[in-house]
Amino acid sequence: MLHRINKPLFLIAALLFGFKTYILYRFVFNLSIENPLQELILLINPFATALIIFTFAVWMKPERQKKFVKYTTLIGTIILYVNLAYYRNFTDFITLPTLLQFKNFGDLGASAAYLVKPGDIFLFLDIILVFYLAKKNENTIVSFKQKGKMAISALSLSILVANFVLAEIERPNLFLRSFDREYLVKNIGLFNYHIYDVVIHSKTKVQRVMADGSEIEEIEHYISENASSNEKSDLSGIAEGKNVIFITAESLQTFVLDKEVNGEPITPFLNKLIEESYYFENFYHQTNLGKTSDSEFITANSLYPLPNASVFFTHAQNEYNAMPKIIKEHGYTSAVFHGNNKSFWNRDVMYDALGFDHFFSERFYHVSEENKVGDWGLGDKSFFEQSIKYLENLPQPFYTNFITLTNHHPFTMDQKYASIDKLETNSRTLNGYVQTVRYMDEAIEQFFEQLKQAGLYEESIIVIAGDHYGISDYHNRAMGMFLEKDITPYDNVQLQRVPMIIHIPDHEETKTFDKIAGQVDLKPTILSLLGIEPEDDITFGTDLFTNDRKPYVAFRNGDFVTENYVFTNDTCYDRLTGEILEDTSGCDEYKDQVLLELEYSDRIIYGDLFRFYNFSDNEETNNDE
């Protein structure tokens, strides 16, 4: 019967390969499908990819064509299978660097029996058919005229392009942000993901190879002249030996803090907490495409994020002198808690590079219909509640980062969880934002209670910081309605302020600072509170409790703010009044320096320069001088 088949071999092979890949994506890999568009993309993609690859066959002579189809099927299947085995072990997809680190595959070998399942045999059935047809059935070998070849190739390509367009609609900036391997595989398929991954990592490798240790001296010199403090703050060491509980408040912006909706405060708990804490009201986020992950990166390293990629994704193989690593040398254990997929933002890989000891990701939490809130899964209230048992079991002192999730775009949630009204502007996003912010405020309040009950509160300092904006300038009109003013480029910069609260239980003094500050300042500030002040650290921020500080906060696009000015859109504004200034000298003074500083930070990352630098005297740091 098989010899009667007269359909083109390349097409049969492509369809079979597409089909088995689809079955694998849909039923074997545990990819979460959230909407019909994702479902559609997942269906189109395996066929689109298989078609484009197998279509190359039409350009080949019969013998080559047979070989090409046979070996493409075989190699494609092997790639699928290796990924499957890896996925069964790590619930993640292979990346080039992990492939090159053979230790991962050692782990695989150890559990081979568990990784291979009887049903896997189905993955290989099409190979038998394709090999048989190639050998025995000449009817399946095609030979088209030039036009036919072109038409078939164009058709295959357009299906793939359609796939990518749909993917871009589903996840804008998917390629630029590359935020999650699972999303990439879901949207562009495993094979295109591998190509993408190889391109990114090769680029990174080349830049790394080109770098040598000489550049770091220049940067070190720049930092000691411009970005380090010669002053010791009065609060240095005030929290020595205490736990640090850092809360990354998703999408929380400062503008909501003192606002009300129909007479109800949006953040009653945070407002009260600010009265009992140190609070920085002019604290700016400095993130870029990497969003939350950029905020984590800046916080841990006091370096800038990258201009056109998420550094968590592109440079997770670098050496860093991150806060978790430094404090480990001072007896600290570190952990991150986050109720989302561990590979999101490549966290599972990057956290190792930053020196975190533990990562409690989604799989450590019980996520059910009851505790899901909004679009992102586990609600913050349940997240904190379920985290306490892990926190209680961490050796103290610990440094922890709790990354909240509910207050995330699109800021929707079931109204049964809402405690205040929505806004009534022309933006649904902004309208819902106040409700999800309130939910987070309540979740943090409950967490404080839980910390007290667990006996951890007194022994800890709690730092709360917004990670980045939640409402983009796309919503300026609605924002203008809410804030009752026209939103100018100056306001857009001012809207990049996120709350930053340092709460030290039992510490009498409280204060709201109006000086400018940014995420790069977090690392030196927190370390100083703990009494850990490494002399040889390379950071672009300074301890916020000193006055000998760099006079500006730089943004990734070269904009910046100083105490007196806001520089954006090539315009110099008065920071306090928002007036456009004729005399731009106050801004001109720093323009070049800001760009230079950003470039230095990039050079550290692109060249992996810290591998040439010896941070070893952390241990010897003496705080008694």
Residues classed as catalytic: 292
Alpha-carbon distance of 348 to 352, in angstroms, equals: 7
Nearer Cβ to ligand GP9, position 472 or 557? Answer: 472
Q: Does 292 bind Mn ion (CB under 5 A)?
A: yes
- Using CB under 6 A, which residues numbered 230 to 269 contact ligand GP9? 250
How many helices and strands (H and E) does the chain possess?
22, 14
Binding segment for ligand GP9 (CB under 6 A), chosen from 326-334, 400-408, 582-590, 615-623, is 400-408
CB of 342 to ligand GP9, least distance (A): 9
CB of 344 to ligand GP9, least distance (A): 4
Nearer Cβ to Mn ion, position 397 or 466? Answer: 466
Contact yes or no for 82/74 (Cβ under 8 A): no
Choose which of 408, 475, 503, 556 interacts with ligand GP9 (CB under 6 A).
Answer: 408
> For 183, phi and psi rounded to 5 degrees?
-65, -40
Q: Which does 340 bind (CB under 5 to 8 A by kind): ligand GP9, Mn ion, none?
A: ligand GP9
Nearer Cβ to ligand GP9, position 291 or 549? Answer: 291
> For 27, phi and psi rounded to 5 degrees?
-120, -15
- Using CB under 6 A, which residues numbered 297 to 356 contact ligand GP9? 338, 340, 344
Closest C-alpha among 441, 517, 430, 439 to residue 472: 430
Q: Which does 403 bind (CB under 5 to 8 A by kind): Mn ion, ligand GP9, none?
A: ligand GP9
87: Cα within 13 Å, side-chain hemisphere: 17
CB-neighbour burial class of residue 208 (10 A; exposed 0-12, middle 13-18, buried 19+) = middle
Contact yes or no for 395/333 (Cβ under 8 A): yes
Binding segment for ligand GP9 (CB under 6 A), chosen from 103-111, 125-133, 200-208, 403-411, is 403-411
Contact yes or no for 22/46 (Cβ under 8 A): yes
Binding segment for Mn ion (CB under 5 A), chosen from 228-236, 284-292, 302-310, 575-583, is 284-292
126: Cα within 13 Å, side-chain hemisphere: 25
CB of 290 to ligand GP9, least distance (A): 7
Nearer Cβ to ligand GP9, position 330 or 468? Answer: 468
Choose which of 127, 378, 403, 594 interacts with ligand GP9 (CB under 6 A).
Answer: 403
Report which residue's Cβ sits closest to ligand GP9. Answer: 291
Q: Which does 344 bind (CB under 5 to 8 A by kind): Mn ion, ligand GP9, none?
A: ligand GP9
Contact yes or no for 502/278 (Cβ under 8 A): yes
Alpha helices in 475-571 (DSSP H): 476-483, 489-494, 522-529
CB of 465 to Mn ion, least distance (A): 11
Q: In this structure, what token pair is assigned to residue 543?
A: 């301890």
- Using CB under 6 A, which residues numbered 277 to 306 contact ligand GP9? 291-292
Residues that bind ligand GP9 (rule: CB under 6 A) add up to a total of 9
Sheet holding 560-562, edge to edge: 552-554, 560-562, 565-568, 571-574
Report which residue's Cβ sits closest to Mn ion. Answer: 292
CB of 340 to ligand GP9, least distance (A): 4
Contact yes or no for 371/421 (Cβ under 8 A): no
Q: Does 562 bind ligand GP9 (CB under 6 A)?
A: no
CB of 257 to ligand GP9, least distance (A): 19
């940067």: which residue's tokens? 219
Q: Which does 184 bind (CB under 5 to 8 A by kind): Mn ion, ligand GP9, none?
A: none
Contact yes or no for 210/609 (Cβ under 8 A): no
Distances (CA, A) of 412 to 372, 385, 407, 424, 429: 12, 22, 8, 14, 8
Q: Does 498 bind ligand GP9 (CB under 6 A)?
A: no
């680190």: which residue's tokens? 101
CB of 173 to ligand GP9, least distance (A): 11
Alpha-carbon distance of 546 to 521, in angstroms, equals: 11
Binding segment for ligand GP9 (CB under 6 A), chosen from 137-145, 165-173, 363-371, 401-409, is 401-409
Alpha-carbon distance of 436 to 412, in angstroms, equals: 7
Q: In this structure, what token pair is assigned to residue 585?
A: 């000298």
Query: Under the rule (CB under 6 A), what is the footprint of ligand GP9?
Result: 250, 291-292, 338, 340, 344, 403, 405, 408
Query: Under the rule (CB under 5 A), what is the footprint of Mn ion?
Result: 250, 291-292, 467
